[in-house]
Chain A
Amino acid sequence: MITVTPPRTKAERLRWALSDTFVIAGRSYSQLRAQPGQLAAELVAPVIMTVLFGYVFGSAISLPGGGDYRNYLMPGVFMQVMALSAVAAATSVAEDMARGIIDRFRAQPIARGALLAGRSLADLSKDWLSLAMMAVCGLLIAGWRPHGTPLETLAGFALLALFGYAMIWLGTYIGLFVKSGAQADAATFGWLFPMTFLANAFVPLEGLPGWLRAIADWNPMSAVVSAARELFGNPGSAAASWPLRHPVTASLCWSLLIIAVFGPLAVRRYRTATSR
């Protein structure tokens, strides 16, 4: 007969919360290993973006203020892929809900928040993998060159990954409201994908009409792209707004704010969510 007892001390409670988080993350890794095709498909999309935008458009478009368009573009593609990590996070949590597996987890003595934290860490490592793939393809195929120091380059990727992590929490929160994976996809991709174009990711903002430009200037995605360009030493465009004049600070603030808002909201929602 197996008996288990609840944690008695704060330290034990913390240890179990960490253990639960890693066990859940381990589940996500096992899932990836169980379907290598799925992982490949998720990684192919960023690579295609890199090659398509960098190679096809990159050769035809020139920047208004001079500078190489491919180098301008790559940080935008990186950001777009990070923004869309919300889609996978929302889809997988919604599928777990629909299958009733969340009920089983919730009826077990799992530390509060460990389930979502574990998933988010696993999703974050997928983001790093996407970034690595894109960086290699950018360097080899699309002619992308970072001009900053290695440390600055690394910091650029870290900022992108942090934004990806924020979007994972946003996606998780949305995924806890919808009824199926397909709905989760529509409820995230449907507005996030257009949003990535309402930013300075692919085109300089100078040509936009005033009201649209204001939106794009304050779009968190623009700050992330500008910050990455600055740290990679890639060409950017003239910055008019505060977030684009201080992109590193602004993107840090945006990402942390999104995590601080949607992390606790998602955990709360998870604790009361029902599968129907």
Chain B
Amino acid sequence: MIHAEGVRKRFGTTEALRGVDLDVPGGSVCGLLGPNGAGKTTMVRVLTTLVRPDGGSARVAGCDVVRDAERLRYRIGLAGQHAAVDELLTGRRNLELFGRLYHLPRRTARRRAEELLERFGLTEAAGRPVRTYSGGMRRRLDLAASLIVAPPVLFMDEPTTGLDPRSRLALWDVLRELVAEGTTLLLTTQYLDEADHLADRIAVMDAGRVVASGSPSALKAKVGGDRVSVVFREAGDVAPGVEAVRRVLPGEPEIDHAGRRLVAPVSDGAASLVRVAAALDAAGVGVEDLGLRRPTLDEVFLALTDAPAREKEAA
């Protein structure tokens, strides 16, 4: 449904995109992850015909983003970083306006506006100017506006930035429903749990390139398997505790003395956890917390994008 090859874009002296390849099958969700300035937004703008690429090619819903731009605009919905709705107009008037600009007859535009207001729980607020809406309501109205023609492909640029947790979960539900109905969704996000929850595939972008892509679990596996983590009760427990763990685990643990914490990579999961627990108990070491955990997407992200190194470079 979305297919991009070697997309390049330069703004002045900065190379925003240095050859991005992307492949999103129909009906799936692709999460575009990356630090600020990685080129996520530029990529979305290329795919939604807002920015002309300098090189490479991209097709969305069977249309070339440059040559068939006009035709493509009937098949996509875009919800950008700002809630791009008119503050002065009412919610209802906003949706009617955007519907009319898709060349819907007046009556159809009106009916569609009511349907969308209903679906996004905005019927009550429909007659109020948007400037009186909360952040979550604006986002929902913005999303509604991008769904007027029920586009086969939907682009969302950081859809939940600035939303409270409840609105965020509500928005996720709506997005899941849309995908269940067959919409292809490409979303950019800085929240890794969002990509983890919603995306079938994740493409991690850094400095204008896709540096890794795959399913969330495949990406996590790339960074490594499970870890055992121990938090000791007192500072005096750390030294004997580390000693005890070393005796039962082959790998070299990471130790954080100030946090009284130990993290060790393990290959056989739960069995290692049992061995560590037994060893600590036998040594009589005070333990506050003990657990087995998978790498988080945050760790994947940091490992792949190497953010600290780049910050140093910039400074």
Contacts and interface: CB of A to CB of B under 8 A. Distances in A.
Nearest to B142: A104
B284 to A, nearest CB: 60
Contacts of B112: 2
A141 B117 CA distance: 50
Interface string B57-72: 0000000000000110
Contacts of B48: 107
A110 interface: yes
B251 to A, nearest CB: 46
B101 A108 contact: yes
Contacts of B149: 2-4
Interface residues of A, number: 31
Contacts of A3: 149-150
A107 B151 CA distance: 12
Contacts of A30: 88-89, 93, 97
Contacts of B300: none
Greatest chain A CB density within 10 A among B71, B76, B97 is at: B97
Interface stretch (B102-110, B187-195, B208-216, B235-243): B102-110
A100 B86 contact: no
A107 B76 contact: yes
Interface in A184-232: none
Contacts of B81: 100
Contact of B84 (A2, A4, A31, A103): A103
A109 B89 contact: no
Interface in B30-66: 45, 48-52
B20 interface: no
A2 B150 contact: yes
Greatest chain B CB density within 10 A among A3, A5, A35, A109 is at: A109
Nearest to A34: B88
A3 B112 CA distance: 12
A16 interface: yes
B104 A104 contact: no
A109 B73 contact: yes
Nearest to B146: A104
B104 A4 contact: yes
Contacts, number: 91
A5 B209 CA distance: 35
B103 A19 contact: yes
Interface in A21-41: 23-24, 26-27, 30-31, 34-35
Given A2-B148, A103-B80, A109 B102 contact: yes
Contacts of A272: 52
B145 interface: yes
Nearest to A6: B71
A106 interface: yes
Given A6-B70, A6-B74, A101 B86 contact: yes
A99 B87 contact: yes
A274 B51 contact: yes
Contact of A31 (B51, B76, B86): B86
Interface in B84-129: 84-89, 93, 97-98, 100-104, 108, 112, 129
A6 B103 CA distance: 9
A4 B52 CA distance: 24
Greatest chain B CB density within 10 A among A1, A101, A104 is at: A104
Interface in B258-296: none
B206 to A, nearest CB: 20
Interface of B: 45, 48-52, 70-71, 73-74, 76, 78, 80-89, 93, 97-98, 100-104, 108, 112, 129, 145-146, 148-150
Interface of A: 1-6, 16, 19-20, 23-24, 26-27, 30-31, 34-35, 99-101, 103-110, 272, 274-275
11 contacts: A2-B149, A4-B149, A20-B101, A20-B103, A30-B88, A30-B97, A34-B88, A104-B145, A107-B78, A109-B101, A272-B52
Given A100-B82, A107-B50, A109-B102, 13 more contacts: A2-B108, A2-B148, A2-B150, A3-B149, A20-B103, A23-B97, A27-B89, A34-B129, A99-B82, A101-B82, A104-B98, A109-B73, A109-B101
